[in-house]
């Protein structure tokens, strides 16, 4: 590897989603290496992400289309970016137009913006989940919702991650306490949103 490499990272949440849009945006930066994941970003234990962290060296620049592709919570975002900066690695978030230089060079304003935007993104995700739960509760109350509530999206993310790691579907069902029917239903490639409006029960 050269003394200074341009590295890209792209992620989608599941196998049935497409990386093409992110890869197309990254292509403009003439990258030397690109790492990808098709797995939930709820934590940093992702194959492509770990490979990227091991590959990156002092002087390199990591390009990511947006912060939520890099980390799904503020704690991980700040921890990982700090680690990279301390190792002499810069990070460029394209959508947010934030460039984090190696430790000591990044302005206080950039760090503040990173923290604020990461916190806002995490808050927005929490609001979406709360709105989903509230919508179902109100629908049940007025009798418009006859079936069971859709399965928690976190369980779906966990199931997909376990399957990605090679865990058998039987063991996934046992660990998450869900039926095989539910597992196939919510992880099917046809279910692009991860959740279905289940009006017939699971």
Contact status, residue 91 vs residue 78, Cβ threshold 8 Å: no
How many Å apart are CA 164 and CA 108, to the nearest integer?
38
Nearest alpha carbon to residue 146 among 201, 196, 92: 201
Catalytic position from the list 4, 13, 101, 110 = 13
- List, in sequence order, every residue forming a beta bridge with 37; answer none if it has no partner: 11
Tell me which H or E stretch contains 35: strand 33-38
Burial 92-102 (b: 16+ CB within 10 A, else e): bbbebebbbbb
Query: Does residue 40 have an active-site annotation?
Result: no
How many Å apart are CA 116 and CA 46, to the nearest integer?
25
Other CB atoms within a 10 A radius of the CB of residue 177 amount to: 8
Q: Any idea which residues carry the catalytic annotation?
A: 13
């Amino acid at each position: 590897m050269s003394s200074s490499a341009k590295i890209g990272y792209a992620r989608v949440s599941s196998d049935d989603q497409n990386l093409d849009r992110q890869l197309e945006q990254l292509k403009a930066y003439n990258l030397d290496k690109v790492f990808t994941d098709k797995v939930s970003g709820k934590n940093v234990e992702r194959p492509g992400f770990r490979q990227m962290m091991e590959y990156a060296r002092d002087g390199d620049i990591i390009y990511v289309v947006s912060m939520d592709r890099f980390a799904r919570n503020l704690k991980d975002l700040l921890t990982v970016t700090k680690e990279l900066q301390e190792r002499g690695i810069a990070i460029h978030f394209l959508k947010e137009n934030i460039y984090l230089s190696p430790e000591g060079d990044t302005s206080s304003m950039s760090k503040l913006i990173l923290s604020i935007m990461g916190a806002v993104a995490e808050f927005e995700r929490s609001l979406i989940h709360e709105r989903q739960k509230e919508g179902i509760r109100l629908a049940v109350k007025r009798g418009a919702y006859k079936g069971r509530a859709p399965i928690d999206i976190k369980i779906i993310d966990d199931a997909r991650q376990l399957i990605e790691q090679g865990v058998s579907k039987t063991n996934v069902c046992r660990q998450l306490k869900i039926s095989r029917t539910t597992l196939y239903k919510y992880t099917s490639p046809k279910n692009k949103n991860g959740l279905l409006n289940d009006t017939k029960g699971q």
